[in-house]
Amino acid sequence: MLMLYLLLALLLVSCAEQEEAVPACLQVEVVGPDCQTGWYVLQILDANGTGEQRSNQYIGQLQSGFVTTDNLPEELRQSGKIVSLSLERNTEYGPRCTAISTMFPPVRVKMVCLVE
């Protein structure tokens, strides 16, 4: 029984040391400001949603279309700018817009991969 506990403890420690998987990088275009100050609309340009495949990455739920974010780095907040970003869904909060605005899924920028 003691051996079982030792093996489980070893497994737990080895799993805890693994890096967190980050979403794959997607090519996006900065469309412009969204309806609430500080939020920016992005268009995902990867038509097939495959992104750049590397180990320890996943595609996630974002495959195409438009999304909005509130943590786009200041230097990337220019309409028409093409960048490669690692994005994940933001299920905690989103912009507060009037009923006549188009609502896009909120995301968080996890990492800037490449700026063109």
Exposure string (b/e) for 76-85, b if CB count within 10 Å is 16 or more?
Answer: beeeebebbb
pLDDT at 56: 46
44 within 8 A of 69, measured Cβ to Cβ = no
Determine how many CB atoms are found less than 10 A away from the CB of residue 116: 8
pLDDT at 106: 93
pLDDT at 55: 44
Arithmetic mean of pLDDT, 12-23: 64
Tokens, residue 102: 């188009």
pLDDT: is 115 or 71 the higher one? 71
DSSP 27-62: EEEEEEE-SSTT-EEEEE--TT---B--TTEE--S-
The full set of domains in the chain, from first to last, is 21-115 (2.40.50)
pLDDT per position as a tens digit, 18-62: 566 677 889 999 999 998 999 999 999 975 544 444 444 445 566
pLDDT per position as a tens digit, 46-104: 755 444 444 444 455 666 789 999 999 999 999 999 999 999 999 899 888 876 667 88
pTM score of the predicted model: 0.71
Residue identified by tokens 């093996």 is: 7
